Amino acid sequence: PVCFSIEKEKFEIFNIGSDQQYKPDIVNGLCYDSFGDLWFGTSESGLIRYSKKTILKSFVYDAEDKTSVTQGWAHRIIENKDGTVWVFTSTGFNLLDTGNQTIVPYSYQSVLPGFEYRWFVAEQKPGEFLFETNRGYILFNSKNKTYTSANLDPMLDSLHIFAVYND
């Protein structure tokens, strides 16, 4: 396995038998933001932020805390052009305020009711997200909390699109 060494500030090969405190986990998403923070979306440990300014900080789902990251594995982390960081999990998406280290969670059940399947594909415009759902592709506007059907090219509409990146 590969791990990130805080002391050495680099990734290195890790021998699991050498450290009894090591808890294996799967990293599903990475984002290096414009503030110099490295974000890890994991299957078991939630969202982890590494900053040279501080030690690792973990954001974990807590059913009693309405401001915790949404439950499930974090599979996608993006930073849009205005510096807003979004984290997408299997049960919702989260707006990160990197300044004060707080999260505004949006569960899929609350913002996309009636959709059984939701997969984040891309950010079309700041705060406007394209999702693949059991009812086709939709655009969700995070500012006014509304969604509309998205009409893709018929050839694309038949594909399962995992991600679209802008360069």
Per-residue pLDDT tens digits of the chain, which is 167 residues long: 556 665 666 666 555 555 545 456 777 788 888 888 888 888 777 788 877 765 567 788 899 998 899 998 888 888 877 778 888 888 888 988 877 778 889 888 888 888 777 777 788 888 888 888 877 788 888 888 888 888 776 666 666 665 665 65
pLDDT of residue 20: 47
Which of 50, 161, 143 is CA-nearest to residue 104?
143
How far apart are alpha carbons 84 and 123 in whole angstroms?
12
pLDDT confidence of residue 148:
85
Q: Measure the CA–CA gap between 93 and 75, rounded to whole angstroms.
A: 10
Contact 154, 145 (CB under 8 A): no
CB 106 within 8 A of CB 142: yes
Give the residue among 90, 57, 60, 94 at the shortest CA–CA distance from 75: 90
Judge contact between 24 and 16, C-beta under 8 A: yes
pLDDT for residue 105: 92
Among 135, 63, 163, 134, residue whose Cα is nearest residue 105: 63
Is residue 108 within 8 A of residue 118, CB to CB? The reply is yes
Does the pTM of the predicted model rise above 0.75?
A: no
Check if the beta carbon of residue 25 is closer than 8 Å to that of residue 38.
no
